[in-house]
Structure 1
Amino acid sequence: MHTFKRDYLQVNPLPDTAIVLRLIGDRIEDYNENHPHSGLKWRSPLEFIRAKTETA
């Protein structure tokens, strides 16, 4: 969650709760589908899951 806050919430000004609630879904989707994670060898969670299911 720390990375999500740093990369998505602290980077862009979010002046009020209504704006946060409107944008949070898209940001979570991007974080899970596109954003590389060091713990997953710089792959997104979606890429990591796909690679594991392809080799299974």
Structure 2
Amino acid sequence: MCIIHIIHIFFVCCQFFTIDSLFDKILEKAESFIRKRAELSLIQPDKKNIEKND
């Protein structure tokens, strides 16, 4: 019953957003997430790596 409800919501959402725009939004979020992670790793390298170098 739950699965049918989730699938129904998914199809309702697909009527509002075309699948292409949905994928574009997901890709944009993924890219920004990866950039933030990369910036954090550049600014703050892992403490484990620093401890190994000591």
Larger Rg: 2
Q: Name the TM tier (shorter chain).
A: 0.3 to 0.5
More helix by share: 2
* Larger relative contact order, structure 1 or 2 (CA cutoff 8 Å, min sep 6): 1
Q: TM-score, normalised by structure 1?
A: 0.35
Q: TM-score, normalised by structure 2?
A: 0.35
